[in-house]
Amino acid sequence: MRRPPIPGIVLADSWLAPYEHVIKMRLKLYDGRMEELARKFGSLEEAARGYERMGIVRDADTGEWTYREWAPGARGLWLIGDFNGWNREATPLQPDAAGMWSVRLPANALHHDDRVKVHVLGADMQRHDRIPAWIRYTRQDPQTFDYSGVVWDPPKPYRWKNKRWTPARVREPIIYEAHVGMAGEEPKLHSYAEFTDNVLPRIAALGYNTVQLMAVQEHPYYGSFGYHVSSFFAPSSRFGTPDELKRLIDTAHGLGLAVLLDVVHSHAVKNMAEGLNNFDGSGGQYFHAGKRDATHPDWDSCLFDYGREEVQIFLLSNLRWWLEEFRFDGFRFDGVTSMLYLHHGHEAFNNLGRYYDDQVNGDAITYLQLATTLIQRVRPGAIIVAEDMSGMPGMCRPVDEGGLGFTHRLAMGLPDYWIKLIKEKKDEEWSMGDMWYTLINRRYGEPNIAYAESHDQALVGDKTIAFRLMDAEMYTHMACDKPSLIIDRGIALHKMIRLVTLAAGGEGWLNFMGNEFGHPEWIDFPRDGNGYSYQYCRRQWSLVDSPLLRYRFLNAFDAAMLRLAKETEWLGSAPARPLNMDEMNHVMAFERGGLIFVFAWGGEQALSNYRLPAPEAGEWEVALDSDAAEFGGFGRQDAAVHHVTDEDGCISVYLLPRTAIVLRRVSQSRPCHLPPM
- What secondary structure letter does DSSP report for 39? H
CATH topology of domain 574-667: Immunoglobulin-like (2.60.40)
Q: For CATH 2.60.40.1180, list the domain ranges present in the chain.
A: 574-667
Amino acid at 430: W
Summarised one tens digit per residue, pLDDT across range 406-443 is 999 999 999 999 999 999 999 889 999 999 999 999 99
Identify the pLDDT of residue 294.
79
Q: List active site positions.
A: 334, 387
Alpha helices in 48-101 (DSSP H): none
Query: What's the chain's Rg over C-alpha atoms?
Result: 27
Summarised one tens digit per residue, pLDDT across range 446-466 is 999 999 999 988 787 788 999
Q: Report the C-alpha gap between 146 and 136 in whole angstroms.
A: 17
CA-based nearest residue to 166, from 259, 98, 102 = 259
Amino acid at 348: A
Identify the pLDDT of residue 291.
63
- What secondary structure letter does DSSP report for 302? B
pLDDT of 632 strictly over 70 = yes
pLDDT of 319 strictly over 50 = yes
**Contact (Cβ atoms closer than 8 angstroms) between residue 149 and residue 117:** yes
Average pLDDT, the chain: 95
Q: Report the C-alpha gap between 41 and 6 in whole angstroms.
A: 30
Q: For CATH 3.20.20.80, list the domain ranges present in the chain.
A: 172-570
CATH code of the domain made up of 172-570? 3.20.20.80
Q: What homologous superfamily is domain 59-150 in, according to CATH?
A: Immunoglobulins (2.60.40.10)
Q: Report the C-alpha gap between 360 and 29 in whole angstroms.
A: 14
Mean pLDDT of 537-545: 97
Identify the pLDDT of residue 522.
87
Identify the pLDDT of residue 320.
98
**Percentage with pLDDT > 70 across the chain:** 98
**Contact (Cβ atoms closer than 8 angstroms) between residue 586 and residue 428:** yes
